[in-house]
Amino acid sequence: MPDYNKIIAFFDEYIAHYREFLQFEYLKLDMINHNQIEKLSSSLSKEQALIMKTNAYETKRVKVLEGTTGTNFAEIAENAPEEFKGRLAEQHKELSAIIFRIKELNDTANVTVTERLKKIQRRTAELDVYDGKGTVKREHASRLAISKNV
């Protein structure tokens, strides 16, 4: 029989790690929203460390859950002895909510960064062009590249 006290202790650590990761994701999104590019860039080592720690926890999770009945955390909690079911179900609920929120924050950050990059690409693709009369007009760079008037 699996050691459910050990499983519960592991998931307490695991959830604490994901709470830390969630806090980092909030900070990262805040840096993105406030255009703090240098600060965001310097935070990449922290993010890499969190990812590496996540990978280590995943390896440990596989070992801790050996011999349990079920293919996912919800099933493991459901199949656990009665005295452990409640605590495991609470942990599952909390972990699921944290991971879902991390995913939401990541998706929001990706959309924000993608939109800003598109805006930058549009801006850098536009050039001021002067006609023979001294009038300035804005043209798209790709049209200028094929225009004989450039």
pLDDT digits 0-9 by tens, 12-62: 999 999 999 999 999 999 999 999 999 999 999 999 999 999 999 999 999
DSSP tag of 36: -
Dihedral angle sign, alpha carbons of residues 11, 50, 99, 72 = negative
Q: Which domains does the chain have, with CATH numbers?
A: 4-125 (1.20.58)
pTM given for the model: 0.78
| Percentage of the chain lying above the pLDDT 90 cut | 69
DSSP tag of 68: -
> Tokens in use for 58?
């995943």
CA dist 106 → 48, 111, 138, 148 (Å)? 15, 9, 36, 45
Own/partner pairs, 93-101, CB within 8 angstroms, 24+ separation: 94/15, 95/11, 95/14, 95/15, 95/18, 98/15, 98/18, 98/19, 98/21, 98/22, 99/18, 101/22, 101/25
Residue count (the chain):
150
pLDDT in tens, 123-143: 776 666 666 676 766 665 555
